[in-house]
Amino acid sequence: MRFQPGQTALRRYIKGDGRIGLVHSGRVVADDENGLLTWVGGGSGVADRVTLAGEPTRKMPFEEQLHTATTLRATYWHGQGVLQLTPVATAHSVWWFFADDMSFRGWYVNLELPERRWDGGVDTVDQALDVWIGADGSWQWKDEDEFAERTGHPLYWDEETAAGVRAEGEAMIRLAEAGAYPFDGTWCDFRPGPDWEPTPLPWWWDRPPAGDAPTRVDHIGR
């Protein structure tokens, strides 16, 4: 299945129990051998999990997150916008971040299960650990505390799986240090079309994950 430029495609993070945890609505820029590339412009539709009182769950203590009733909140992307590349059959995605003047800021490598495509976009499961790679090539791990907190928990991943997640991040760091694709300047001069409007959440944004969606109790998403 290939998406056409200009088409709306969703990036959804699925929790280990099968619920949707996070949604980004983007405009397809390209879909080729490098993967699916979408632009989530400022004001585009997103959805995230909040408590029934409307408080974001992202920064809640770990155990509190596990035992708090939540719901999905439809909101929008704050800031300039982000390019999101989802390669085929790889355990990561790469995001290009830009400042308000569209100068390139850096790459965010999100470590996650290989994507599952459906006719509305891609579904995946977040693995907590990430890597920030600056425009100057410097890098740092992100969310290491969250990753360590979840490693070994019965609802998340074991030590062996955790080692594989970190190895994926280390492989991406080596590519960045070598200036190899996708850290070779490709798409760093990207500019959205002058007539591109924010991409709203389509009416089908919360359709249940497909039967083969990557939901596993040892790989729960946020």
Residue 23 predicted with pLDDT over 80: yes
Residue located via tokens 């907190």? 149
Q: What is the mean pLDDT of residues 203-215?
A: 75
39, 29 Cβ separation under 8 angstroms? yes
In a domain, 147, yes or no: yes
- 180: number of Cβ within 10 Å: 11
> pLDDT category, 183, cuts 50, 70, 90?
very high
54, 75 Cβ separation under 8 angstroms? no
Which position has the higher pLDDT, 155 or 42?
42
Residue 221 predicted with pLDDT over 70: no
Residue 79 predicted with pLDDT over 70: yes
What pLDDT digit, counting tens, does each position of 29-71 carry? 999 999 999 999 999 999 999 999 999 988 888 888 888 999 9
In a domain, 195, yes or no: no
In a domain, 203, yes or no: no
Residue 198 predicted with pLDDT over 90: yes
What pLDDT digit, counting tens, does each position of 82-122 carry? 999 999 999 999 999 999 999 999 999 999 999 999 999 99
For residue 51, the SS3 value is strand
Residue 59 pLDDT: 80
Residue 222 predicted with pLDDT over 60: no
128, 150 Cβ separation under 8 angstroms? yes
In a domain, 196, yes or no: no
Q: What is the mean pLDDT of residues 124-150?
A: 96
Residue 121 pLDDT: 97
> pLDDT category, 155, cuts 50, 70, 90?
confident
In a domain, 194, yes or no: no
3-class secondary structure per residue, 86-115: ECCCCCEEEEEEECCCCCEEEEEEEEECCC
35, 87 Cβ separation under 8 angstroms? yes
Q: What is the mean pLDDT of residues 132-140?
A: 97
Residue 219 predicted with pLDDT over 70: no
Residue 13 lies in domain: 8-178
Mean pLDDT for all residues in the chain: 92
In a domain, 1, yes or no: no
Q: What is the mean pLDDT of residues 175-203?
A: 97
Which CATH number does the domain housing residue 165 bear?
A: 2.40.380.10
* φ/ψ (deg, to 5) at 204: -95, 15
Residue 216 predicted with pLDDT over 70: no
In a domain, 185, yes or no: no
Considering its fold, how many domains does the chain have in total? 1
The rounded distance, in Å, linking the Cα atoms of 192 and 39 is: 8
In a domain, 46, yes or no: yes
